[in-house]
Amino acid sequence: MPTLQLDLGQRSYPIYIETGILSDAGFLFEEIQSSHLIIVTNTVLKALYLDTLKVRLTQLGKRVDEIVLPDGESEKTLANLEHILTKLLAMPASRSACIVALGGGVVGDIAGFAAACYQRGIDFVQIPTTLLSQVDSSVGGKTAVNHSLGKNMIGAFYQPKAVYIDTNCLSSLPSREFSAGMAEVIKYGIIYDPAFFTWLEDNQREIQDKHGPVLNTMIARCCEIKAEIVALDEREQNIRALLNLGHTFGHAIEAELGYGTWLHGEAVAAGMVLAAKLSMTRGDINSNELKRIVDLISVFDLPTEGPQNMSSQAYIEHMQRDKKVLENTMRFILPIGIGKARVVSDVSKDELHSLLN
């Protein structure tokens, strides 16, 4: 039975969270009807998981092909999207084929976008292997590639058929990548669930030690919150925008420094602190709440300040191209205490310069 169900009518799908799910690919059988599976992954994960998964799927009588991309955020490009589409055409893959995204947020985003584009849409499933992708990017159907002028500005809303989360994958995850994922975890507590934020404070040692039951509980709660929000607002017309806490500042950092210089979660962490500081200057949170946010982010070795050499004007130039800009007005997600947030569009450039300088 699935751990969770994301309810979107005909586009609803299950989310499985189990330890060791990759060692028994029989779990794929019910959701994947296609006889032709194309695994999209990267060079690092190919060595860790690809051969095992191919053997399991072949044993189920599937035709299995693979497309292996270089690793890194800098590879989430239109050129690599074209590479995937060219491979699909050369196989050839029919409209009944199914893409299996085996990897972190980069693989999931670009493979999902390829699935949305190929023959106007074929099935795909997500097997997220990083903490960030398990708690955030694999759920909700956002797919995209980056551009030098903006992150995730070219993409589509396209839901997978299922999400399979194996917490065993986190045992091989570098500590920096694990910490980056914690930024998205902490985000859920700030915007939606004050009790979860307190739970993170109380269980920080067990989380750092990657204690299995604690990780399962944490990931399940994040997916549950994400599923609730996406079910209410699939295409980000209102409440789903709250999931972008810290992202407006964070995306500006990533674009300015070059994708991959700071990990996405690192940039989001600094962005959440900037958003919280802006909230405090506007009277929406107090100094104790700001301290709790900064302290929890710091515990997981995440940055609480932006790059020292990045000017306020550089931030603003990138943020003016952000997806949340509406009618030439920048919009920001700001916390209101811990456990609630709102979208604001009345932040002046003077406020931003004061904050960022």
Going from the N-terminus, what domains does the chain have, and what CATH number goes with each?
4-172 (3.40.50.1970), 178-356 (1.20.1090.10)
The amino acid present at 354, given as its one-letter code, is S
The answer to whether 205 is a known catalytic residue is no
pLDDT at 31: 75
Cβ atoms < 10 Å from Cβ of 318: 21
Average pLDDT over residues 174-184: 97
In sign, the C-alpha dihedral spanning 243, 248, 249, 252 is positive
The answer to whether 244 is a known catalytic residue is yes
Mean pLDDT of the chain: 94
pLDDT at 222: 97
Q: What is the DSSP string of 13-74?
A: EEEEEETTGGG-GGGGTTT---SEEEEEEEHHHIIIIIHHHHHHHHHTT-EEEEEEEPSSGG
Active-site position among 56, 62, 76, 226: 226
The answer to whether 349 is a known catalytic residue is no
pLDDT classification of 162: cutoffs 50, 70, 90: very high
Average pLDDT over residues 119-136: 97
Active-site position among 31, 184, 234, 254: 184
pLDDT at 60: 87
pLDDT higher than 60, residue 345: yes
Active-site position among 54, 62, 151, 251: 251
Structure confidence by residue, pLDDT tens digits, 271-309: 999 999 999 999 999 999 999 999 999 999 999 999 999
pLDDT at 232: 95
pLDDT classification of 140: cutoffs 50, 70, 90: very high
User: Nearest Cα to 312, choosing from 249, 265, 244, 261?
Assistant: 249
Instruction: Determine which of 49-63, 152-166, 177-191, 295-309 has the lowest per-residue pLDDT on average.
Output: 49-63
Structure confidence by residue, pLDDT tens digits, 233-245: 999 989 999 999 9
C-alpha 22/C-alpha 167 separation (Å) is 10
The answer to whether 63 is a known catalytic residue is no
Active-site position among 80, 152, 244, 256: 244
Active-site position among 120, 288, 309, 328: 120
The answer to whether 291 is a known catalytic residue is no
The answer to whether 142 is a known catalytic residue is yes
Average pLDDT over residues 90-96: 97
The β-bridge relationship of strands 63-69 and 36-42 is parallel
The answer to whether 353 is a known catalytic residue is no
The answer to whether 251 is a known catalytic residue is yes
The answer to whether 318 is a known catalytic residue is no
Active-site position among 142, 151, 292, 324: 142
Average pLDDT over residues 159-169: 95
pLDDT at 59: 87
The answer to whether 351 is a known catalytic residue is no
Active-site position among 234, 236, 266, 289: 236
DSSP state of 291: H
C-alpha 35/C-alpha 57 separation (Å) is 10
Cβ-based neighbours of 124, under 8 Å, separated by 6 or more: 98, 99, 100, 101, 111, 112, 115, 158, 160, 161
